[in-house]
Amino acid sequence: MGDERVLLVDDEQEFTSVLSERLEARGLQVETASNGLAALEKVQGSSYDVVVLDLAMPGMDGIETLKRLLAQNPDLQVIMLTGHATVQKGIEAVRLGAREVLEKPADMTTLLAKISDAKTDKILLVEKRMEERIRGILQSKGW
């Protein structure tokens, strides 16, 4: 733990600021976005190990943002946070590709463990994709 790159997406500026400071104090690199469109722009231009995404936001909600983020980058690891959890929305988020749905305020130890696990899984996914690409290249060359 320590060099994880996290994008924190939440419309509640005070919450985002406090959580960002707490994560940075534990050595994580944190960027923030206040809405879904800003998150999509940031993900286009940078690489993140994990996106921590609020489920309930005005405009483009967390579900729609999740769909678009994963369409843009299927390997993205997304942890949903919500203060307005409904079982149905949580199930939908996981079905669409979120790793986890945690209630606000998330326990810091739990959140840090989930972020660390997500980074590990992302590394494994990227390595697997690279191995598949190498294998494909070797097969196409007849080696």
CA torsion angle 3 106 93 68 (round to 10)? -50
Domain harbouring 81, CATH code? 3.40.50.2300
Q: Quick check: 30 and 8 in contact, CB under 8 A?
A: yes
Rounded to the nearest integer, the mean pLDDT of the chain is 90
Domain count, the chain: 1
Give the structural domain span for 103. 5-141
In angstroms, rounded to a whole number, what is the distance separating the alpha carbons of residues 49 and 31? Answer: 12
CA torsion angle 11 101 47 128 (round to 10)? -170
Q: Give per-residue pLDDT as tens, 68-127.
A: 999 998 889 999 998 776 778 888 898 999 999 998 888 899 999 999 999 988 888 888
Model pTM score = 0.85
